A and B are shown apart, each in its own frame.
Chain A
Amino acid sequence: DAGVIQSPRHEVTEMGQEVTLRCKPISGHDYLFWYRQTMMRGLELLIYFNNNVPIDDSGMPEDRFSAKMPNASFSTLKIQPSEPRDSAVYFCASSLVLPNVGETGGLPYEQYFGPGTRLTVT
């Protein structure tokens, strides 16, 4: 499997512009997470989905942020309008929760992270 795929890897935009970050989770995974990493606040969970349904968006900073998951293989995180304080690395992660570890060969509850998108808002 190719792992979690994020695009773009880097994004530079001007304040006020709309920014869309994209994520393709690992095939078969039923959970998808969006995190933000900054020097000041560390790694924060923004929102997560289960079977394409948003479960907890309490980490979304404000109405300028929105996330969607139209199908099991694609999610977007949109910022509109963007502000300089939104500059950060945004990670997408996915996981699969199974009752038996042996069925996956891996670990249940392990979140696999994408490479991240570094967003710079000037």
Chain B
Amino acid sequence: AQTVTQSQPEMSVQEAETVTLSCTYDTSESNYYLFWYKQPPSRQMILVIRQEAYKQQNATENRFSVNFQKAAKSFSLKISDSQLGDTAMYFCAFMTQGAQKLVFGQGTRLTINP
């Protein structure tokens, strides 16, 4: 069974700083997808970024980027120029290609301080 581990329960940084959230996963599959979801206090789950395992290039979405290390089974999220609106729970998630099942990590609570 696939597992996803987020080793940082909480993080706190100052506005405009860069922050990196860690995620590791365990799988025997070779084709899969990885995701970062954001859950602000409104509790709405919002997709931040995704990565296909077959792509070597790291995904980027504006201020959000990932460092995907397939051999190490690591998938970290970097938030540049952090903003107050980035304050949220962040969940790393795994999906085997074709399986449609998302397996989530326990989440990291990120606080951006003014």
**Chain B binding surface, main DSSP class:** loop
Q: How far is the CA of A31 from the CA of B101 in the complex (A)?
A: 10
Q: Decide: B91 and A43 in contact? CB cutoff 8 A.
A: yes
Q: Among B20-28, B40-48, B72-80, which stretch is in contact with chain A?
A: B40-48
User: In whole angstroms, what is the CA distance A42 to B45 when docked?
Assistant: 13
Give 20 A-B contacts (CB < 8 Å), ordered by A residue: A31-B100, A33-B102, A42-B104, A42-B105, A42-B106, A43-B104, A45-B101, A48-B101, A56-B101, A89-B43, A93-B45, A107-B47, A110-B50, A113-B46, A115-B42, A115-B43, A115-B44, A116-B43, A116-B44, A118-B43
B50 engages A107 (CB within 8 Å):
yes
Q: Which of A12-57 contact B (CB under 8 A)?
A: 31, 33, 42-43, 45, 48, 50, 55-56
Looking at A33, A42, A91, A95, the one whose CB has the most chain B CB atoms below 10 A away is A42
State A29–B47 Cα separation when bound (angstroms): 17
A111 to B50, CA, bound (A): 11
Assess whether B95 is in contact with A109, with CB atoms less than 8 Å apart.
yes
In the assembled complex, the Cα of A57 lies from the Cα of B91 at a distance in Å of: 23
Which of B's residues lie within 8 Å of A, judged by CB?
33, 42-47, 50, 91, 95, 100-107
- The residue in chain B whose Cβ has the minimal distance to the Cβ of A113 is B45
Contact A111 B102 (CB under 8 A): yes
Complex CA gap A22/B2 in Å reads 29
Cα of A91 to Cα of B44 in the assembled complex, Å: 9
Instruction: State whether B106 touches A50 (Cβ < 8 A).
Output: no
User: In A34-87, which residues have CB < 8 Å from any B CB?
Assistant: 42-43, 45, 48, 50, 55-56
Name, among B50, B102, B106, the residue most crowded by chain A CB atoms within 10 Å (CB to CB).
B102
How far is B102's CA from A91's CA once the two chains are assembled, in angstroms? 13
Query: Is there a chain B Cβ closer than 8 Å to A98's Cβ?
Result: no
Residues of B within 8 A of A42 (CB): 104-107
Query: How distant is the Cα of A57 from the Cα of B105 in the complex, in angstroms?
Result: 20
Contact, CB under 8 Å: B91 / A50: no
